Chains A and B, each alone.
Chain A
Amino acid sequence: MSKQKITIAVTGLNNTDNPGPGVPVIRGIKESSTFDVRVIGLVYENLEPGIYMDGLCDRIFQIPYPSTGSDDLTERIERIHQQEKIDVIIPNFDAELFSFMKNEKRLKEIGINTFLPTLKQFQEREKDKLPEYGKKYGIKVPKSINLGSLNQVEDIEEKMEYPVMIKGQFYDAYVANNEEQAKQAFQKLAAKWGFPVIAQEFIKGTEVNVIALGDGKGNTIAAVPMRKQYITDKGKAWGGITLADDKMINITHSIIEKTKWKGGMELELIKTSAGEYYLIEINPRIPAWVYLAVGAGQNIPEALIKLALGFDVQPMTDYKIGKMFVRYSYDMIVDLEKFAAISINKEI
C-alpha cells in the first residue's frame, strides 16, 4: 500500500544541551508506515542545529518569537502555508503553545491541523495551580506556596521544612536549604520568569517520567515510563531507560481519563522509597526524549499526526522494557551559504 503524502511543520529544532523536541519528533515521523512526509522546519534562531542536519527538513523558515504577538506568528505561518500547503503543525515549545492554541480555529480554517490541549487543560496544570490540580483529580502533589514578593519567603518555614524547591513559573528550579538560599533563588527566578515564584515541598526520591498521548476523549493512546540515567547540569536527560511500572501507567491513564487530555504530554513524578508517587509537573507537549518511546515501540509523533488528521487511532499498550537512549554531541561542518540564507532570506 502506498503511503499518504503529507506536509508537516515542526518547531523546536534547537538540539543543544537543552534540546527542543523537534528533531526527535521528525525522526519519529520519518519512520511512519502510513505517511510519506515532507518536513517544514520552523525556527526562531539561525543557529538551531536542526537547520543544518542533512536529510532532516525539506524546507526551513524562520518565524517570529511568540513574544512579538500571536498575530505576527500566525500571519507568518499563513504566508508559509501559501507556499507549502501544511497539513499539520506540531509546536514543541511551552512558550509558543498559547499562541497556537489561541489560533487553532484560524489555522484550521485554512487547512492547517493541530492536536493541542485546550486552553483550560493547559492553564489548570500550570505550576502555581498544582495543589488545586492534585485535589481535583485525586493525585498526590507536593505542598507548595506561590510567592509574590521577597517578604513571603519568610513564610515558607511556617508551612514546610527546608530543603524546599524554588521554581520559576515556566522553567528552572533550585533546591534551597535555608531561607537565605530561598531568597537568592527567588530573586534569580523572579528576574528571569516573573511572578509567581513557587516554593514547593522537597520530596525525597527518584525522579521518573512518563511520555503520553491523549486523544481528547479520555483515552490514553500511548504511554511510556522512563527513568533518567544521566542528567546534565541543566537537569536534562542525557540518557534514560524505559521501565516496567504499572503504577506509573495507571497514574497516566487516570489523569488522561479525568482531564480528557488532548495531545502530547510529559508527567514528571517523584517515586519515594515507600513506593508513593508525587506529581511534580506536567509538561503540555511532547518531551525531547520522545525518540525513546519510538524506539520502544510507540511512535507517538505518528499517532499525534493521525489524531490531528481525524484518523481513528487505537491505543498502543506494548513497549519494550529496558530500552535505553544515550545522547551525544556531534560537530557538523556546514557551509556559510546556508547560514547566510536563513539569516538574510529567513528561509531555505
Chain B
Amino acid sequence: MKISEEVKISDNGFVFNSKTGDSFSLNPFGLEMIKSIKEGKDFEILKNEILQKYDVDDLTFEKDYYEFCALLKHHQIVVQDNPTDFK
C-alpha cells in the first residue's frame, strides 16, 4: 500500500488529493498513521510502536488500522500495487 503521488499531506493534518480535488482533515493520530504508511513502515513494527506509546490493545488497534486503510483506499489516497494485498 502506497500513498498516491498526487496526495499532499500537511503537518497540520490537511490532506489534499490533487487528482480528485478532495481534501480531508486528520486528527494528530490519523496524521501519525498516514505518515507511517507514507514511510512504508511495516505493519508489525508500527503496531508494536503504537501499543507501547498509547493505551490501546492489540485487537482494537488492528481493527481501527484496517478501517483507516479502507477509508484511504475508498478516497483514492492510497494506490494498491497488488489487488490481492489487503494491507
Which stretch of A11-19, A108-116, A168-176, A237-245 is in the interface? Answer: A237-245
A251 contacts B by Cβ under 8 Å: no
B20 contacts A by Cβ under 8 Å: yes
Which residues of A pack against B, CB within 8 Å? 206, 208, 226-227, 229, 241, 243-245, 321-322
Residues of B near A241 (CB, < 8 A) are 21
In the A-B complex, the 6 residue pairs with the smallest Cβ-Cβ separation, listed nearest first, are: A227-B21, A244-B18, A241-B21, A321-B18, A244-B6, A243-B21
Decide: A244 and B19 in contact? CB cutoff 8 A: yes
Cβ-closest chain B residue relative to A271: B20
| Interface SS of chain A | strand
A–B pairs, 19, beta carbons within 8 Å: A206-B20, A208-B21, A226-B21, A227-B20, A227-B21, A229-B21, A241-B21, A243-B18, A243-B19, A243-B20, A243-B21, A244-B6, A244-B18, A244-B19, A245-B19, A321-B18, A322-B8, A322-B16, A322-B18
Question: Considering the chains assembled together, what is the distance between the CA atoms of A226 and B20 in angstroms?
Answer: 9
How many interface residues does B have (CB within 8 Å)?
Answer: 7
Residues of A near B6 (CB, < 8 A) are 244
Beyond A244-B6, A244-B18, 15 additional contacts (C-beta under 8 Å) are A206-B20, A208-B21, A226-B21, A227-B20, A229-B21, A241-B21, A243-B18, A243-B19, A243-B20, A244-B19, A245-B19, A321-B18, A322-B8, A322-B16, A322-B18
| Interface SS of chain B | loop
Cβ-closest chain A residue relative to B22: A227
Q: Chain B, 64-85, contact with A by CB distance < 8 Å: what is the 0/1 string?
A: 0000000000000000000000
Residues of B near A322 (CB, < 8 A) are 8, 16, 18
Residues of A near B20 (CB, < 8 A) are 206, 227, 243
Cβ-closest chain B residue relative to A324: B21
Which residues of chain B in 1-16 are interfacial with respect to chain A, using CB atoms and an 8 Å cutoff?
A: 6, 8, 16
Question: Considering the chains assembled together, what is the distance between the CA atoms of A245 and B19 in angstroms?
Answer: 5
Question: Considering the chains assembled together, what is the distance between the CA atoms of A229 and B8 in angstroms?
Answer: 18
Closest-CB distance, B17 to chain A (whole angstroms): 9
Chain A CB count within 10 A is highest, among B8, B18, B19, B21, for B21
Question: Considering the chains assembled together, what is the distance between the CA atoms of A244 and B21 in angstroms?
Answer: 8
Question: Considering the chains assembled together, what is the distance between the CA atoms of A229 and B19 in angstroms?
Answer: 13
Residues of B near A226 (CB, < 8 A) are 21
Residues of A near B18 (CB, < 8 A) are 243-244, 321-322
Question: Considering the chains assembled together, what is the distance between the CA atoms of A226 and B8 in angstroms?
Answer: 17
Closest-CB distance, B8 to chain A (whole angstroms): 7
Q: Chain B, 19-39, contact with A by CB distance < 8 Å: what is the 0/1 string?
A: 111000000000000000000
Question: Considering the chains assembled together, what is the distance between the CA atoms of A208 and B20 in angstroms?
Answer: 9
Question: Considering the chains assembled together, what is the distance between the CA atoms of A227 and B21 in angstroms?
Answer: 6
Question: Considering the chains assembled together, what is the distance between the CA atoms of A322 and B7 in angstroms?
Answer: 11
Cβ-closest chain A residue relative to B21: A227
Residues of B near A229 (CB, < 8 A) are 21
Cβ-closest chain B residue relative to A246: B19
Cβ-closest chain A residue relative to B16: A322
Cβ-closest chain B residue relative to A241: B21
Residues of B near A206 (CB, < 8 A) are 20
Question: Considering the chains assembled together, what is the distance between the CA atoms of A206 and B21 in angstroms?
Answer: 10
Question: Considering the chains assembled together, what is the distance between the CA atoms of A23 and B63 in angstroms?
Answer: 53
